[in-house]
Amino acid sequence: DLTEVEAIGRLISARSRFELELAQKNVFGEVTRFTSNLRSQLISLKAECEAEIDFSTEDLTYESLEERKTRIENVKSLCQTLISKSSSAEKLIQQFRIVLYGEPNTGKSSLMNVLLGKERSIISEIPGTTRDYISEEIFLEGIPVRLVDTAGVRETTDHIEKLGIERSEKEFQSADVRLFLVDVSKKEKLERVY
């Protein structure tokens, strides 16, 4: 089975516990069994529908329309489950992108460093220290996540900082998870957010 053979390659190259578990399920034929069951049901439904059409003049007994409709709904549900699981698994393998976004000095870089467990982003009280986004991979509950620290968003005349802010906005728009950080000590800014 090609699915099982491909799973061996994914098993070898797994970067996370999730990828390893997914590859193991494929190696042991879980996906093959699921798709084989789905295929059998589809073939059976197709054959029965064709037989009913081809032998409509014969005095044969077929399942009721309601019974067939129930079986079709079951196949539809299995297809939706397969699509949903495949999409979810693919997204987890490709990495969720979590983007830290907000004005300067709201703790984006500090949060990035804490989550990474190391000093990756430069931290300073001077607004505009982070001029471009910084991206690192972390694992949350065994799932690879791409964490992105962005430049603080504000009005500025500095050309380079403006470019960094534009990139920050693009990163924010393309994120799977957007963490908008706010300095809660500045009440007027907090009220603007809500």
User: What does the pLDDT read at residue 147?
Assistant: 93
pLDDT band at 98 (very low <50, low <70, confident <90, very high): very high
User: Could you give the number of structural domains in the chain?
Assistant: 2
Average pLDDT value over all residues in the chain: 82
Q: Are residues 137 and 187 in the same domain?
A: yes
Q: Give the CATH number of the domain where residue 175 resides.
A: 3.40.50.300
What average pLDDT does the segment 132-158 reach? Answer: 86
* Share above pLDDT 70 across residues of the chain, in percent, rounded to a whole number: 91
User: What does the pLDDT read at residue 93?
Assistant: 67
Q: Are residues 136 and 188 in the same domain?
A: yes
User: Amino acid letter at 135?
Assistant: S
Q: Are residues 75 and 128 in the same domain?
A: no
Domain boundary among 65, 94, 123: 94
Domain boundary among 61, 78, 94: 94
User: What does the pLDDT read at residue 187?
Assistant: 66
Q: Which region among 52-56, 87-91, 110-114 has the lowest average model confidence (pLDDT)?
A: 87-91
Domain boundary among 62, 78, 94: 94
Full 3-state SS string of 3-66: HHHHHHHHHHHCCCHHHHHHHHHHHCCHHHHHHHHHHHHHHHHHHHHHHHHHCCCCCCCCCCHH
> Residue 179's beta-bridge partner residues?
100
pLDDT tens sequence across 159-181: 888 898 899 899 999 898 999 88
Q: Is the pLDDT of residue 38 over 80?
A: yes
* Tokens representing residue 159 in the block: 């050309």
Q: Which region among 69-83, 89-103, 144-158 has the lowest average model confidence (pLDDT)?
A: 89-103
* Tokens representing residue 66 in the block: 């309601």
* Share above pLDDT 90 across residues of the chain, in percent, rounded to a whole number: 9
- Structural domain boundaries, residue 165: 96-193
Of the candidates 88, 89, 81, the one whose C-alpha atom is nearest the C-alpha of residue 26 is 89
What average pLDDT does the segment 38-50 reach? Answer: 89
* Tokens representing residue 133 in the block: 């986004």
Cα separation, 184 vs 127, whole angstroms: 17
User: What does the pLDDT read at residue 88?
Assistant: 66
How is 70-129 classified by DSSP, letter by letter?
A: HHHHHHHHHHHHHHHHHHHHHHHHH-EEEEEEESTTSSHHHHHHHHHTS--S---SSTT-
User: What does the pLDDT read at residue 194?
Assistant: 42
Q: Are residues 51 and 102 in the same domain?
A: no
Cα separation, 164 vs 136, whole angstroms: 17
Where is 191: in which H helix or E strand? helix 187-193
Of the candidates 11, 61, 67, 3, the one whose C-alpha atom is nearest the C-alpha of residue 35 is 3
pTM of the model: 0.56
